[in-house]
Every structure is written in C-alpha cells, then in structure tokens.
Amino acid sequence: MPDDVDPRLHKQMQRDLDEMDGMITQVIELSRGLDQQDMTCCEFHGFLQYLITDYHPCSVKIKLTSNGQCSLQLSETALRRILTNLLDNAIRYGKGRPVAIHVDCGTRKVRIIISDQGAGIPPELRDKVFEPFFRIEASRSRQTGGSGLGLAIVSQLAEVNNWKVTLEQNASGGTDAILEIPRSDTSLSP
C-alpha cells in the first residue's frame, strides 16, 4: 500500500482481512469435519472432560455432569467442532455466568446438553440462527457475535453424521444447545 494511505483505512482493511481469514478457517474446519474417515470409539464423559480441561483459558466456570458412562463409534473431529462451537456460544452469550454440560446416556440416543444463563434466543429465531451468516445482533463485530458461521457449521456437521442439534430455552431464561446422537445396538456400549 502507498505510504500516504490513511492509517484508519489501513487498520480497517487489516480487520476485514482478519475476519475473512477466520471465515476461511471455519469453512476448512467444516470440510475436515465432513470426512467420516476418522471414526473412533469415543467415551463421552472422558472426551468432554478432556475438551473442558484443554479448552482455552476463560474465566467462566464449566461444570460437567452425566448419568453414566457410554461410548460410541463416531467422528471425534465432527463432535469436537460441534461442541466447541456450542460451548463458545454459551460462554460468549452467557453473561459470564457458569456453563453446564450434561451427558444423558439414554437407551436410544446420547444427548449432550450445553446450558448457558444468558438472555436466550427468541423462539422465532432458533431455527434461523443455523443459517450461514445469520446473526441475531446487527453489529458485525467479532467480539459481539462472530461471523455467523459457527452454528451453520454445527448444523451441517450434525446433518452429515445423522445427528440432531436443537436450541431450547432453559429454566434460567438462557439457552440449552442439545446435540442428540442416535445409538445403534452394535455401536454404543453402556
């Protein structure tokens, strides 16, 4: 760039390039998660405990509970990407309050519920937030809402793996992000 370019314009261009770089990274992560060749046996409680322990340092307390031990043959790459995106959202919109993760090892499916204590998502927007680039907040600042790709990636990864992800209001008025993974008689052990 020429030396006489306004420094504010240069700074804005750098922010835009950083945002585009982040979006490209998310698309690459999505394509990696679509590859189902990384199927491994995942023990859910241990996997989530490791994810929480290895999670980037944050001041929000994350509490993990489960109703038992269960494992399933699945793509850990896809599971990690989905849970990381959902956990990022719970922390970002949870107003600094604790986040809870619960693993429900049911007879027909495994449910992983990530609960925040934020403002929640209006019912009419709960499906729309899974669309690429849709954001509830009109601002484009990454500090307040990201690129609008996180939940689109979650939705596509869940669909490719025959999993289901939904958002519901919880008792505190925040959001429960629920990932349901069906079990088959041969792939899940108690």
Domain ranges of the chain: 7-189
How does the average pLDDT of the chain come out, rounded? 82
pTM, to two decimals: 0.77
Closest C-alpha to 60, from 93, 23, 25: 93
What pLDDT shows up at residue 184? 74
**pLDDT, tens digit, 9 for 90 and up, residues 51-91:** 998 776 678 899 999 998 899 999 888 899 999 999 999 99
If you ran DSSP here, which 8-state letter would residue 132 be given? T
The domain 7-189: what is its CATH number? 3.30.565.10
Q: Tens of pLDDT along 79-134?
A: 999 999 999 999 988 988 999 999 999 999 999 999 999 999 999 998 888 888 77
Confidence of residue 185 (pLDDT cuts 50, 70, 90): very low
Q: How many CB atoms lie within 10 A of CB 128?
A: 13
User: Which residue, among 54, 47, 49, 65, has the nearest Cα to 103 in the 3D structure?
Assistant: 65
Number of helices (H) and strands (E), helices first, in the chain?
4, 8
